[in-house]
Structure formats: C-alpha cells, structure tokens
C-alpha cells in the first residue's frame, strides 16, 4: 500500500447490512454505513467478494469471478426508477429474522421481482447500457449464457449438462443463444443494474474519504462460467473432471485440513499466454475496488493439491505455483495495483521471498498470536509497518467468542499483554492492535460491538450456517461511532 498515513477500517460484508428485503444491498443503508464510517474517523471499508454465490451460499464458491451478486441490487432504487411498485411486493416473503439471511426465501422472492422489473425496463435503449455491454463483453456474454443454460437444466452444475453444451460444441452454443435469448437478456439487465448501483455507492464512499477494500478468492468454483468457458486454464481430464482440487493441509482452522474442492489452475498453460486471464481478472477487480485483497496468496508460491475424490485434504501434496512471474506480468500490463496478500497459514521462506519481491503487505491476526506463550509473529510487538493488522477475519470467531474459548494460560497471558481487565478485555485487545506499527488496522464490526458466536460469518470446512449474519439498524449507534473515533484518533489512525 503506497499510502504513508496510518489508517484503520471496518470489515462488514454487503450482505450483512440492514435492509427490509432479507439481505444487505447497495441502497440507503449502505450509504448510511459510509456516513457512520466517516463519523467514526475510519478510512477503509473492507467487504467480501461481490460475486454471485454458489455452493453453500459462499462468496468464495461463485458462478463467476467477474459477475456481481444480483441480490445486492437495491429494490427501493428499482421502485424509484419505475421498474417496480409497492404492490409488487405483496405476498413476497424475504424472511422474518432481521439478524439472519434466509437464502431459500431470498432467492424465490428476489427472482420473482427481478423478472417484473426486467419486463418493465427500457434498459436496451439506454446509451449507458450499450456502453456497459461493450466494456464487459469479454466475460458478460459467456456468463449470461451460462446462467440461462443452468436454469434450463434445473440449476445443476455444467458438468451434468448434455455433452454437446457441456463440451461447448459451436452448433449447441448457437442453438442455446437463440433459444434462451430472453433469459440471457435478463442476466445482462441484472449485471447492468448491479454495476450501476455499485459504481454510485463506491463513488459516494470515495467522495467521503472512504476507500473500499475488495476481496477476490484465489480459486474459482468448478460450477462456474469461468471453468465452463475455458477449461484449458484448469487441471481437468478429457472428461472435464478435475485431476486434483484445492485445499490446505491441517491447520489452525481444521485438524483434517480444508478441502475446498475448487479446480486447480494449469499454471504452465497460463504462463504460455502471458497470464492474460489473470491480468484481466486483477484489472477488473482494480476497477471495482480501491484495494484488492487476494485470498490465500500462498497458493501463488505453492499450493496444496488434493486427489479428486478424497474426502479430506490430508493426502494432498505441495506443488509449485507461478511465483513472482505472474505479478511482474500484472504490473507490466496494469501498472500499480493496490494489493493486500492474505498470507495466513503455513509460512515458508519462499512465501516471504515472494511477498518481498511483489512488495505487497501481508496480514497479521492477533487471535493467532496467543499460542501457549510462544513469541508469535501475530503478536503486535512483532508486526512490521508494511502489513495489515486484524483482530479477526470473516473466517475467525468473533473476539468475544475466541476469548471465552482460550485456555487459562493463554487468557492470563493475553490479559497481561494487552493490559486487559476481567470485565472488558475486548476493547483492550483492539487498542493493542491499534498501537502496533502496522500501517493499516481492520476490525470486524462484530468486535467493536463485542458480539459472540451468534455473529460469526463463517466456520471453515462447514456448510449450512455460514454467510448469514446481519447487522441491525440500532447496533452501529452514535456512541459506538464516537468510541471508534476516539480509538482511531488516540493512535493517530
């Protein structure tokens, strides 16, 4: 990060914002959150990937690395444009719990309303729409076709489609484009309004001194337009099944490792054409966000390859990644891109060398620092200036939940290290991170609110109860904003 000033920010996914429609959106609550960040003297808003969610409703298992999640489109804005009326909402159930997303109800209700808005739209005659189509042609058409065909096949993965379209025979592509023309146009419409609303929100944030940290997963989902469109970029066999899949070995999060299941890149194939797909991907992300956080950066140094079909990640093996060559190509074509490298997990000399050569800041998480009294690199006295310090990430327990689960030895050490009281240890932990030399500090909003396990975003290696937590309107109140502002000003952030 080339900004020399000390700074701080808050982590809150878009889906966790309050709204009347079952999930956070790009509407008034998002603008209000930016106002709250400004009042709290924050300079960054970190979000999770904006792409459409796939398996397990995870933003890290998306149908496309380029497309946007249509559920973030604000419905009130569609009403303001005359595409929907209040009467259209009668009988639509978005879920009754303002603290949790009900994805089943969300999908049914939103898709019904999107089709009504699409039917009322005159977007095809808009100059802005035609420019959007032209600017995003390299991914948009394949994605819209993919989603339309996916709907035709009752939403199963492309690997289960008929062979002619699974293997993208030209005559099949042509036939489906003609047969599903209206459905394809619906998805263009949704992507246009997603981009339109997000661009306006980001512009508002930037005008108010708030920079957006966006997140991109290193891998893409098998069930995605990316893999279907160009399977040669991935390690697949002749039947288009993965040879090996992604994961990580046993670590802090899981004794059996994490089996993500994503197809692995054929890095030799990427290298032969100068990493053009990655250059396009990073370039697109740099337009969406001010800073790009790349998840699982270690995978560019070496990656854990698990034989396809294994039920855990234990039997994987380390394979060499593309290394610095990829990032030199990216810089050559795109110039400077503000990147944060998520370098958590197994640390190696080669990873440190890659980070140093790329000149990207890595991450420090204080929760990982308290481990049987060891002098960990995640303890704030060991932080370096060119790093981003966190109290926790979307994969961690909240500070309160984590603190309650510490051993007596680790809890005693923490209280001594952070000079924390028995009654209010959370504020002391946050202030300890703020005191560090790390240029940037990011704190999940749940930690400022001292929320427990009910507010956790994700438990790695589990499916079913993740990506659901939502902030309520009354939680981020003025007193909380003032307290955050005092902490930020005290430590010159």
pLDDT at residue number 56: 86
> What is the rounded distance in angstroms from the CA atom of residue 461 to the CA atom of residue 221?
15
Structural element, H or E, at residue 108 = helix 103-120
Q: Is 52 exposed, middle or buried (0-12, 13-18, 19+ CB in 10 A)?
A: buried
Domain boundaries, the chain: 7-490
pLDDT at residue number 252: 67
pLDDT at residue number 374: 83
The predicted-structure confidence for 139-153, as pLDDT tens digits, reads as follows: 999 999 999 999 999
Residue 367 has pLDDT above 90, yes or no: yes
Could you tell me the pLDDT band of residue 423, with boundaries at 50, 70 and 90?
A: confident
The CB density around residue 255, as the number of other CB atoms within 10 Å, is 10
Any idea which residues carry the catalytic annotation? 295, 342, 395
The predicted-structure confidence for 298-312, as pLDDT tens digits, reads as follows: 999 999 999 999 999
pLDDT at residue number 451: 97
**Complete DSSP assignment for 300-338:** GTEEEEEETT-SSSTT-EEEE--THHHHHHHHHHH----
Residue 4 has pLDDT above 80, yes or no: no
Residue 3 has pLDDT above 70, yes or no: no
Could you tell me the pLDDT band of residue 289, with boundaries at 50, 70 and 90?
A: very high
> What is the rounded distance in angstroms from the CA atom of residue 150 to the CA atom of residue 144?
10
Tell me what the mean pLDDT of segment 45-54 comes to.
Answer: 96
The predicted-structure confidence for 177-231, as pLDDT tens digits, reads as follows: 999 999 999 999 999 999 999 999 999 999 999 999 999 999 999 999 999 999 9
Residue 454 has pLDDT above 80, yes or no: yes
363-to-97, 325, 336, 339, 342 alpha-carbon distances in Å: 34, 22, 20, 11, 6
Mean pLDDT of all residues in the chain? 95
Tell me what the mean pLDDT of segment 354-360 comes to.
Answer: 95
> What is the rounded distance in angstroms from the CA atom of residue 79 to the CA atom of residue 264?
43
Tell me what the mean pLDDT of segment 170-177 comes to.
Answer: 98
The predicted-structure confidence for 228-280, as pLDDT tens digits, reads as follows: 999 999 999 999 999 999 998 887 667 788 888 999 999 999 999 999 999 99
Question: Does 3.30.70.2740 match the CATH number of domain 7-490?
Answer: no
Cα 218 to the center of its chain, rounded Å: 10
Structural element, H or E, at residue 484 = helix 478-490
pLDDT at residue number 243: 96
| Residue 68 φ/ψ, nearest 5 degrees | -105, 155
The predicted-structure confidence for 444-453, as pLDDT tens digits, reads as follows: 999 999 999 9
pLDDT at residue number 55: 83
Q: Which of 186-195, 222-231, 356-365, 372-381 has the lowest mean pLDDT?
A: 372-381
The predicted-structure confidence for 73-120, as pLDDT tens digits, reads as follows: 999 999 999 999 999 999 999 998 999 999 999 999 999 999 999 999
SS3 for 60? coil
Residue 2 has pLDDT above 70, yes or no: no
Q: Which of 190-194, 353-357, 418-422 has the lowest mean pLDDT?
A: 418-422
pTM, two decimal places: 0.96
Task: State in Å, rounded, how far the first CA of the chain is from the last one.
Answer: 15
The predicted-structure confidence for 16-43, as pLDDT tens digits, reads as follows: 999 999 999 999 999 999 999 999 999 9
> What is the rounded distance in angstroms from the CA atom of residue 213 to the CA atom of residue 9?
9
> How much of the chain, in percent, has pLDDT values that exceed 70?
99
pLDDT at residue number 347: 82
């Amino acid at each position: 990060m080339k900004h020399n000033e000390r700074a701080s920010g808050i982590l809150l996914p878009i889906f966790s914002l309050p709204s009347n429609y079952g999930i956070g959106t790009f509407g008034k609550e998002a603008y209000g959150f930016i106002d709250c960040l400004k009042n709290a003297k924050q300079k960054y808003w970190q979000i999770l990937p904006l792409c459409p969610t796939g398996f397990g409703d995870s933003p890290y298992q998306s149908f496309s690395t380029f497309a946007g999640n249509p559920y973030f489109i604000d419905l009130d804005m569609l009403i303001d444009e005359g595409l929907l009326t209040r009467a259209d909402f009668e009988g639509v159930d978005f879920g009754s719990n303002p603290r949790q997303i009900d994805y089943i109800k969300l999908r049914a209700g939103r898709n019904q309303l999107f089709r009504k808005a699409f039917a009322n739209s005159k977007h095809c005659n808009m100059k802005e729409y035609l420019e959007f189509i032209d600017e995003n042609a390299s991914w948009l058409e394949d994605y819209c076709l993919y989603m339309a065909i996916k709907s035709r096949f009752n939403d199963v993965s492309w690997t289960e489609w008929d062979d002619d379209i699974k293997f993208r025979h030209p005559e099949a592509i042509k036939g489906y484009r003609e047969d599903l023309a209206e459905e394809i146009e619906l998805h263009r419409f949704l992507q246009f309004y997603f981009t339109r609303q997000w661009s306006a929100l980001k512009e508002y944030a930037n005008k108010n001194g708030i920079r957006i940290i966006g997140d991109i997963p290193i891998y893409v989902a098998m069930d995605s337009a990316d893999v279907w469109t160009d399977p040669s970029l991935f390690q697949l066999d002749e039947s288009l099944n993965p040879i090996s899949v992604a994961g990580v070995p046993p670590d802090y999060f899981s004794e059996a490792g994490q089996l993500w299941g994503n197809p692995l890149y054929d890095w030799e194939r990427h290298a032969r054409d100068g990493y053009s797909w990655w250059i396009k991907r990073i370039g697109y992300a740099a337009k969406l966000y001010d800073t790009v956080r790349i998840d699982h950066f270690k995978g560019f140094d070496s990656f854990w390859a698990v034989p396809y079909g294994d039920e855990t990640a234990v039997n994987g093996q380390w394979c060499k990644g593309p290394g610095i060559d990829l990032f030199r190509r990216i810089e050559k074509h795109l110039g400077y891109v503000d990147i944060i490298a998520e370098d958590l997990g197994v640390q190696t000399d080669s990873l440190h060398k890659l980070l140093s050569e790329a000149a990207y800041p890595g991450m420090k998480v204080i929760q990982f620092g308290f481990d049987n009294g060891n002098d960990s690199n995640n303890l704030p006295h060991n932080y370096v200036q060119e790093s981003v310090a966190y109290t926790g990430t979307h994969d961690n327990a909240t500070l309160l939940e984590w603190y309650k689960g510490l051993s007596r030895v680790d809890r005693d050490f923490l209280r001594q290290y952070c000079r924390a009281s028995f009654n209010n240890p959370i504020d002391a932990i946050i202030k300890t991170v703020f005191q560090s030399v790390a240029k940037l500090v990011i704190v999940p909003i749940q930690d400022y609110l001292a929320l427990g396990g009910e507010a956790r975003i994700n438990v790695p290696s589990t499916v079913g109860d993740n990506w659901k937590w939502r902030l309520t309107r009354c939680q981020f109140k003025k007193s909380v904003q003032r307290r955050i502002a005092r902490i930020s000003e005290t430590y010159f952030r």
